[in-house]
């Protein structure tokens, strides 16, 4: 079986015999439902392949669709004038790059339809309208416009160059204004991207496109469902199961935990990350393919402004306006984190119209926290190697060595990262630091700020043989931390546990930036 990894051209997928997960029944519904759409999906989720499929459909290339669902649904197969713009390839941190790219496309279209080049006289929007008008008149068919990753020119410079960011917004606003002035010449329009800048005037030049990003009818338009996996990939999964010495059902469960878990509507249909899944099936190895393909720099820049504890951001219910507001705001990164695919819907409360947001799967959780720790903690040592050492140490119950590992990690953080103006900010920093460290150790069960009947314990970490109960104090004493564990009865629920239970009191030193005191007491059953 040939997997179309990195191939975004529908005609190449079909002509060269790559596996194609048939979405054409949804595409048929889409093109007959309305005319101007916007679709947000994470990167490498199949948006470009969707655009290419639509392009070939509107070009009337029926031979490519033989045997697919749409072949029996569509009867006309008309040929429309198609205008396709892909912003994926440009580096828009260079001033003038956006204008060059748009001008190139418009100039080529003007040549195609015999329109004199009037670059100096008219803006891009007006020139594009003239192209659409001419195409409609010459072909007798209204036009199709497909714009892939429309927001990349803004995301490339977001929080880097405010002047260029504003310039790109204005250029795109003028270009997209064509959808208002040329409505009579348009058959179908689709814009794809990560964010929808509805609050910052990019779309204000025309009527808002119909946002189908959370429309239940199109939630599986990109990505792969469990039913599609069972239909298309039973043999590759069986082959992987042989390599992993497990049953096919166990292999499917492993793939599900690693790559499944996305939901794009309140219908809660499970959707797999297609890029990671296909890579895993091709290589027959479960790895973090999505993260290896690169982390958006705009997200890292936004998170540098974020002062909240991520533990307070995930696992909470939100109203739609709190995360479906696609406004790119450095002070409120939740919508960007959600639309970038690092959080997804995990539950829907119909009574309150609220959505539970959390990490979709193990690949995203581990990769995101590793990325965040690298950006936030900036450890000098290799994070992956340190995590392995901690896991082995906890597996062996070597409590004093664990203290040394935490101390070395914290000491590697530059002073400029931990310098805070007041005591509240310092305490918040150390709480967040410890939270990130413990979330990285996800091979074990970790509870951060676990609520119990007598209070909220800082952290509980469980391994098959040991339970570690942590209480931390900023510039206090380890004895005070241990006393709180005892007085609040944090270890009480483990009284009948057969595992060895360690109660650990530790302090952070705001002066040295690392562990100050560390005391451990084993619970006697």
Query: CATH number of the domain at 10-218, out of 3.40.50, 3.30.70, 1.10.3470, 3.20.20?
Result: 3.40.50
Q: Identify the band that residue 417 occupies on the pLDDT scale cut at 50, 70 and 90.
A: very low
Cross-strand partners of 287? none
Q: Which of 65-74, 171-180, 300-309 has the highest mean pLDDT?
A: 65-74
141-to-80, 100, 135, 188, 469 alpha-carbon distances in Å:
6, 29, 8, 11, 70
CA 453: distance to chain centroid?
36
pLDDT one-digit tens code per residue, 424-476: 666 666 666 776 777 666 666 677 666 655 667 778 888 889 999 988 888 88
pLDDT of residue 367: 80
3/20 Cα distance (integer angstroms): 8
pLDDT one-digit tens code per residue, 97-126: 999 999 999 999 999 999 987 666 678 888
Helix (H, G, I), strand (E, B) or coil at 325: coil
Q: Tell which wins on pLDDT, 247 or 327.
A: 247
Unique residue bearing structure tokens 């899944």: 277
Cross-strand partners of 192? 39
Tell which residue, 201, 91, 211, 245, has the closest CA to residue 156: 91
**Percent of the chain residues topping a pLDDT of 90:** 52
260/258 Cα distance (integer angstroms): 6
User: For residue 55, what is the enclosing H or E element?
Assistant: helix 47-58
105: buried, middle or exposed (CB in 10 Å: 19+, 13-18, 0-12)? middle
What is the per-residue DSSP string for 231-246?
HH-HHHHHHHHHHTTS
pLDDT one-digit tens code per residue, 262-307: 999 999 999 999 999 999 999 999 999 997 776 666 776 666 666 5
pLDDT of residue 467: 92
Element counts in the chain: helices (H) and strands (E):
24, 13
pLDDT of residue 295: 64
Question: Between the CA atoms of 96, 173, 334 and 331, what dihedral angle is there, to the nearest 10 degrees?
Answer: 70
Does 181 score more than 60 pLDDT?
A: yes
Q: Identify the band that residue 256 occupies on the pLDDT scale cut at 50, 70 and 90.
A: very high
Q: What is the mean pLDDT of the chain?
A: 85
Q: Tell which wins on pLDDT, 93 or 299.
A: 93
Provide the token pair at 396.
């062996």
CA angle, residues 88, 94, 95, in degrees to nearest 5: 115
Domain layout of the chain by residue ranges: 10-218, 226-292, 297-363, 377-522
CA 389: distance to chain centroid?
29
Q: Identify the band that residue 3 occupies on the pLDDT scale cut at 50, 70 and 90.
A: very high
Record: fold of 377-522: Trna Endonuclease; Chain: A, domain 1 (3.40.1350)
Does 512 score more than 90 pLDDT?
A: no
């Amino acid at each position: 079986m040939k997997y179309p990894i990195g191939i975004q051209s529908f005609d190449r997928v079909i002509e060269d015999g790559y596996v194609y997960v048939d979405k054409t029944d949804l595409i048929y519904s889409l093109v007959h439902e309305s005319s101007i759409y916007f679709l947000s999906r994470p990167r490498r989720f199949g948006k470009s392949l969707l655009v290419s499929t639509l392009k070939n459909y509107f070009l009337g290339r029926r031979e490519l669709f033989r045997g697919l669902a749409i072949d029996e649904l569509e009867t006309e197969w008309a040929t429309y004038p198609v205008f396709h713009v892909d912003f994926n390839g440009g580096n828009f941190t260079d001033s003038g790059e956006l204008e060059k790219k748009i001008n190139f496309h418009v100039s080529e279209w003007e040549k195609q339809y015999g329109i004199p080049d009037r670059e100096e006289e008219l803006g891009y929007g007006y020139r594009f309208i003239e192209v659409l008008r001419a195409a409609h008149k010459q072909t007798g068919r209204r036009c199709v416009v497909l714009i892939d990753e429309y927001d990349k020119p803004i995301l490339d410079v977001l929080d880097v160059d405010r002047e260029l960011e504003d310039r790109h917004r204005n250029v795109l606003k003028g270009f997209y204004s064509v959808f208002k002035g040329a409505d009579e010449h348009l058959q179908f329009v689709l814009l794809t991207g990560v964010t929808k800048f509805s609050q910052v005037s990019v779309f204000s030049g025309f009527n808002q496109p119909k946002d189908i990003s959370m429309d239940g009818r199109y939630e599986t338009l990109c990505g792969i469902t469990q039913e599609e996996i069972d239909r298309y990939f039973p043999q590759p999964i069986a082959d992987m199961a042989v390599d992993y010495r497990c049953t096919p059902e166990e292999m499917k469960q492993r793939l599900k935990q690693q790559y499944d878990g996305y939901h794009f509507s309140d219908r809660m249909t499970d959707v797999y990350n297609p890029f990671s899944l296909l890579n895993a099936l091709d290589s027959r190895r479960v790895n973090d393919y999505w993260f290896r393909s690169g982390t958006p720099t705009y997200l890292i820049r936004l998170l540098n402004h974020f002062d909240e504890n991520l533990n307070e951001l995930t696992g909470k219910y939100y109203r739609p306006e709190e995360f479906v507001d696609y406004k790119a705001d450095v002070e409120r990164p939740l919508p960007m984190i959600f639309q970038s695919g690092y959080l997804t819907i995990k539950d829907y409360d119909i009574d309150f119209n609220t959505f539970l947001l959390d990490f979709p799967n193990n690949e995203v959780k581990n990769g995101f926290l590793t990325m965040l720790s690298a950006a936030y903690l900036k450890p000098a040592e290799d994070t992956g190697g340190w995590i392995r050492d901690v896991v082995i140490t906890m597996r062996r119950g070597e409590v004093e060595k664990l203290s040394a590992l935490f101390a070395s990690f914290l000491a590697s953080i530059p002073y400029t990262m931990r310098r805070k103006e007041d005591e509240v900010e310092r305490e918040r920093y150390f709480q967040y630091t410890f939270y990130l460290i413990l979330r990285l150790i996800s091979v074990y069960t970790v509870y951060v700020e676990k609520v119990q009947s007598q209070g909220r314990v800082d952290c509980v970490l469980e391994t098959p043989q040991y339970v570690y109960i942590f209480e931390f104090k900023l510039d206090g004493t380890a004895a005070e931390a241990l006393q709180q564990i005892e007085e609040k009865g944090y270890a009480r629920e483990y009284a009948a546990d057969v595992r060895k239970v360690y109660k650990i009191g530790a302090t952070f030193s705001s002066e040295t930036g690392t562990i100050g005191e560390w005391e451990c007491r084993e619970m006697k059953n």
